[in-house]
Every structure is written in structure tokens, then in C-alpha cells.
A = this chain, B = another copy of it.
Amino acid sequence: MKELKIDVTLSTEKKQKPSFDNLEFGKSFTDHMFVWNYTEGKGWHDARIIPYQPITLDPAATVFHYGQTVFEGLKAYLTKDEQILLFRPDENMKRFNRSNDRLCMPELDEEGALSALKQLIQIDREWIPSGEGTSLYIRPFMIATEAFLGVHPANSYQFMIILSPVGAYYKEGINPVKIAVESEYVRAVAGGTGNAKTAGNYAASLKASEIASENGYSQVLWLDGRENQYIEEVGSMNVFFKINGEVITPELNGSILEGITRKSIIELLNYMNIPVVERRISIHEIEQAYRDGVLEEAFGTGTAAVISPIGEFLWKNEKMAVNNGEIGPLSQKLYDTLTGIQNGTKEDPFGWSVQI
């Protein structure tokens, strides 16, 4: 891999680290950040690692008004023998560029960005926690910075990487979460931005999540925007169902995010010879499986939570329990295998882990 030439300014003072025994998600940030600017006609320039610090932007910057922004999320793990592992980081960089294309944002030099990411983590390596379920969450993101009002793509952008030591994403940890099926609000529709990792999708999701949360549900299960019946995904996770021995996950249809954990779980299931299919699946089919007693397991997959078993679906006032609200054997096995590969305690037959 080609190394990106980066100007490094180290911080003179080190921040107080949070207690690694009791980490929250995304609340504290490391000592440094990576910044890279793009200007039309000039391309990418001024790659630099600097002390973590505020960004200064014109009030008319495009990101505030027209939302041109893309982000990614991945994790670094510290192994028992103090090696640093990344999980399929090239997949995140590829998705970053797919999102950029949808948002009319400039293409990122994937190798350069990955090289920056590695250098930044090396510098802040003391911030990588090593406890069970902890990791260093990595947030690459790009924002449009040109100062103008009017709806058209900006001519200047800033790409950044920030790092945050994290614990479990859901307070439940690996315990099953309760999910409310959303029948009014819609997150994304075919032809929209659902398969891009861009801010607006998350803004659109807040209202339904807030209502679900008030009723005691961790997240919502989104249905499709056209017919309001096909299952899309959950908050920041893709979703899998085990019905009658077969694992089913919604196919990539343009409106759900192409999760890297999703892709890995499918590959893992194939490797384990467990039948898995990607296809359209309706909430009615889930309801029927529940009634027939064949809805064996359900779980979400995503970088933040890895595998999150689902213990209950709320659908039109009916509570559908899955596996008596307990984690199922497959969910547990997938969680153990995947986190094991990620943190280096299990063999990695796929070559997914990348050592820094």
C-alpha cells in the first residue's frame, strides 16, 4: 500500500482518558484527528494529523444547508499480544466512495485514506481499550465546505477521521433488544439515498426512534417506502431472521445500507453450511412464522453492535416474542465467531482482519 504523505502536529497536552472499564459509545475522542482538504481544480491537498480540535466553517457552508456529507464507521481492536486489528477496512473505503458518488461528492483516494487512518491510530494507540466488548471506533467523514446558498454541489470539501474508545452500542450489550415495527414513518425509498451513508438518512430516522424509545423499544424496524410491508433494516443495523432452519435477510434493493457485517455474516453462514438467502421478506411473513412457531431467531448486524439479538417485535400493538426473549444459539455462535475474528482470539479463515 502506498503511504500518504501526512504532515503531523502532535498535541502538547494529553487529554484525560475516560475509564476503560465503563465506556459509553461515542462520547470521548482521542488526542488527534486527521484532516484532508479537497478543492475543485486542485484535488486533495494538505493531508495532516493535528490535535483534536474544533472545525471552523463559514455559516453558509453547504453541509449546514444542503447536507452534502458522507461518513463511515469501523473499529480497531487490540489483541492480547498488543497488535492492532482492523476489520475489512477496505470495504468501508469502497462504501465511502459509493456514498460520495450518490451525494455528488469528490472521489476519495481509498488507499490514501486507509493509510491516514492507520497512521492516526498508531499515534493514538494508547486510546484503544482491550476489555471484552470494547474497541476503538473510527469515524471517517466528509463535509462540503463551500460558502454559498443555492442547491448545487459544492466545490470544496473536508475529509476527517476522528477516533472514540467505545463500549457496547446498546445498553443491553449482547442481551436481546426489543424492536418496534414502524408503520407510519419511512427511512428511505428506492431511488433515494438509503444505500448511502449520509447524514439525512439518520435525521429522517429520529422521529420514529424517539416514539419507539418512549414506548420502551430500543429501535425501529423499517418497512419499505413503497408498499409499507417489506422489511428493510433496523436503525443502524441490517436484520436477519431464522425461520424453520433457514436464515433470511432482506436483499440489497437500493434503499438499505449494504452492511459490511451483513456481508460477513452471510459469508460466515455459507462457510458453516447453514442455509442463508437474501430476498424480499414481508412483515406478514414474519407474523405468520411467529404464529406458526417457526420464527426461531432474529438479530441485527452492524459495526457498532456487531450482532444484536432481537427478543421481541412490536407490530400493530401485538408483541411477538422471539426465542422467549432470549439469545438463540445461532446468534450466540455468530457473535462469538465474529467478535473472535475481530479481536484476534479466533482464527480468521477469510483474511478479514488487517493488522496495522
Residue of B nearest to A161 (CB): B59
Chain A interface secondary structure, helix, strand, loop or mixed?
loop
In the bound complex, residues from chain B placing their C-beta under 8 Å from that of A42 are none
In the bound complex, residues from chain B placing their C-beta under 8 Å from that of A169 are 150
Q: Which of B55, B184, B198, B199 contacts A191 (CB 8 A)?
A: B184
Q: Is A36 an interface residue (CB 8 A)?
A: no
Give Cα distance in the complex from A191 to B55, angstroms.
Answer: 34
B199-A66 in contact (CB<8A): yes
Q: Is A88 an interface residue (CB 8 A)?
A: no
Give Cα distance in the complex from A27 to B155, angstroms.
Answer: 13
Q: Is A325 an interface residue (CB 8 A)?
A: no
Q: Which of B65, B71, B162 contacts A199 (CB 8 A)?
A: B65
In the bound complex, residues from chain B placing their C-beta under 8 Å from that of A203 are 66-69, 103, 193, 198-200
In the bound complex, residues from chain B placing their C-beta under 8 Å from that of A271 are none
Which residues of A are in contact with B by a Cβ distance under 8 Å?
Answer: 25-27, 29, 33, 52-61, 63-69, 71, 73, 102-104, 137, 139, 141, 143, 147-153, 160, 162, 164, 169, 184-193, 198-207, 209-210, 225-228, 235-236, 304
Give Cα distance in the complex from A221 to B151, angstroms.
Answer: 15
Residue of B nearest to A27 (CB): B148
Chain copies in the assembled complex: 2
In the bound complex, residues from chain B placing their C-beta under 8 Å from that of A67 are 67, 69, 198-203
21 A-B pairs within 8 Å (CB atoms) are namely: A26-B150, A29-B60, A54-B58, A59-B160, A64-B69, A64-B141, A64-B199, A66-B206, A102-B207, A103-B206, A104-B207, A139-B149, A151-B209, A152-B206, A184-B191, A188-B192, A190-B225, A192-B225, A198-B203, A199-B199, A199-B200
Give Cα distance in the complex from A210 to B102, angstroms.
Answer: 11
B57-A57 in contact (CB<8A): yes
Give Cα distance in the complex from A199 to B143, angstroms.
Answer: 12
Contacts A54-B59, A56-B54 given; indicate if A26 touches B206 (C-beta within 8 A).
no
A191-B186 in contact (CB<8A): yes
Residue of B nearest to A54 (CB): B56
A206-B60 in contact (CB<8A): no
Contacts A60-B162, A192-B189 given; indicate if A151 touches B205 (C-beta within 8 A).
yes
Give Cα distance in the complex from A153 to B204, angstroms.
Answer: 11
Contacts A71-B65, A103-B206, A199-B65 given; indicate if A185 touches B191 (C-beta within 8 A).
yes
- Residue of A184, A200, A227 contacting most chain B CB atoms (<10 Å): A200
Residue of B nearest to A26 (CB): B149
In the bound complex, residues from chain B placing their C-beta under 8 Å from that of A188 are 192
B57-A52 in contact (CB<8A): no
Residue of B nearest to A198 (CB): B203
